[in-house]
């Protein structure tokens, strides 16, 4: 998961509004608009109506494209401390380093686990980063992570998933 930005908008928010031109009529936010078109094509957002709003610079009218989060997009979005975070792939576990003995706590069984994993990025997310003009590099490195696991009827789950 990662907080993806499209200009000043955070991907995962219910509405994303992006100005196409400045108050002088010059094209702006071209990378952000390319990214939103990709998210629209992938079904995470759908392009809604365009709005005309006054420019903060001089009050002239500017056109703003509006994109609405779809149900598919809602499934990708996760709440985060700084707003929505958009899932761009999944962690693939290479090995378990250690784990604590499963212990009852507050009516559930928990275990702390240390593991090594790497991020498998979705193809659309790699294109999203390139469209944004960033020097996107797939994070090849394996990272050591720690999670608190909770035993559920569907097996062991990361406690963060259950919140």
pLDDT for the residue numbered 100: 97
pLDDT for the residue numbered 49: 86
Strand 83-86 with 77-80, pairing: antiparallel
Look up residue 14 and give its DSSP letter. Answer: S
The residue written with tokens 């569907």 in the block is 154
Q: How far apart are CA 21 and CA 58, in angstroms?
A: 14
Q: How far apart are CA 129 and CA 5, in angstroms?
A: 10
Query: pLDDT 10s per residue in the chain (163 long)?
Result: 344 555 556 788 899 999 888 878 889 888 889 999 999 999 999 999 888 888 777 778 888 999 999 999 999 988 777 777 888 888 899 999 999 999 998 899 999 999 999 988 888 988 888 887 665 566 668 899 999 999 999 899 998 877 6
3 state SS of 96 = strand
Look up residue 44 and give its DSSP letter. Answer: S
- What domains does the chain contain, in order, with CATH numbers? 5-78 (1.10.10), 88-162 (no CATH)
């Amino acid at each position: 998961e990662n907080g993806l930005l499209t200009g000043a908008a955070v991907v995962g928010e219910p509405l994303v509004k992006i100005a196409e031109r400045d108050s002088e009529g010059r094209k702006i936010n071209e990378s952000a608009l390319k990214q939103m078109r990709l998210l629209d094509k992938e079904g995470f957002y759908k392009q809604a109506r365009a709005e005309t709003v006054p420019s903060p610079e001089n009050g002239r009218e500017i056109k703003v494209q509006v994109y609405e989060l779809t149900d598919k997009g809602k499934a990708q979005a996760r709440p985060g401390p700084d707003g929505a975070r958009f899932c761009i792939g999944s962690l693939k576990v290479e090995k378990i380093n250690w784990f604590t003995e499963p212990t009852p706590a507050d009516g559930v069984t928990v275990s702390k686990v240390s593991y090594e994993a790497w991020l498998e990025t979705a193809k659309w997310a790699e294109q999203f980063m390139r469209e944004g003009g960033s020097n996107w590099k797939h994070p090849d490195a394996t990272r050591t992570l720690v999670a608190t696991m909770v035993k559920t009827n569907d097996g062991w789950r990361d406690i963060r998933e259950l919140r």
